[in-house]
Amino acid sequence: MRLLLLAPPGAGKGTQGERLAARFGVRHIAAGDQLRAEARAGTPLGRQIAGFQERGDLVPDQIVLDMLIPVVVEAAAHGGYILDGFPRTLPQATAAAELGARLDVTLDATVYLHAPETVLTQRLLARAAQEGRTDDTADVIRHRFQVFAETTGPLIAYYRGRGILVEVDADQPPDSVTAGIESALSHGETPRIRSG
Ligand code: ADP
């Protein structure tokens, strides 16, 4: 199974990504987590990454590609992946598609998780109280939504055009969202998907 989760901040990519990876026995590749790990390591590259993340700006494509492509190649050789937060710009999507062609693999589906911005903002502010992520402040959250709309939004049309987009309502409890994803995948909304 090879899936991409495309979603605005707070929609539950991380939670659903973990569950889907366990369900299909493939690797969960969370771009934000990989980048945060590098930032925490405090290397010069990590310090650069931390700056972008704290401001709610995207990390430049080349940095992301250099970090994520080897991980995707490795996972592709071991049964697949749930991509969570990568690609999230058109240049990243193009590079990922070229890589796929080279490896002779294609995405089975792109799952677009959507919910009203007010709901997502409340979730992120609640999470801030628990996890203390430096980008979960009201101002930075607002900026992340803007970046999502401007830079990641075009990927919705890109994957719809490729005939692999499925849309799932993320304004429901986590179990219902998981069920919604599994049902969207198994109902053959994307022709390439078969059970398992
Ligand atoms: P969210 O989707 O809730 O913003 P993530 O953990 O997925 O949370 O991403 C957090 C931050 O990590 C982003 O605001 C951005 O700075 C960086 N990031 C994650 N994935 C990418 C990516 N594919 N390209 C560029 N930056 C990214």
* CA of 57, closest atom in ligand 1: 16
Residue 56 CB-half CA count within 13 A: 18
Lowest mean pLDDT among 129-133, 154-158, 170-174: 129-133
List 113's β-bridge partners, or say none.
168
- Residue 194: pLDDT band with limits 50, 70, 90: very low
Residue located via tokens 């398992």: 196
Tens digit of pLDDT for each residue in 24-47? 999 999 999 999 999 999 999 999
How high is the pLDDT of residue 53? 96
Cα–Cα distances (Å) from 162 to 78, 105, 108, 115, 116, in that order, read: 25, 14, 11, 23, 25
The residue to mutate among 57, 120, 135, 148, having the most atoms of ligand 1 within 8 angstroms of its beta carbon, is 135
User: Does position 129 have pLDDT exceeding 90, yes or no?
Assistant: no
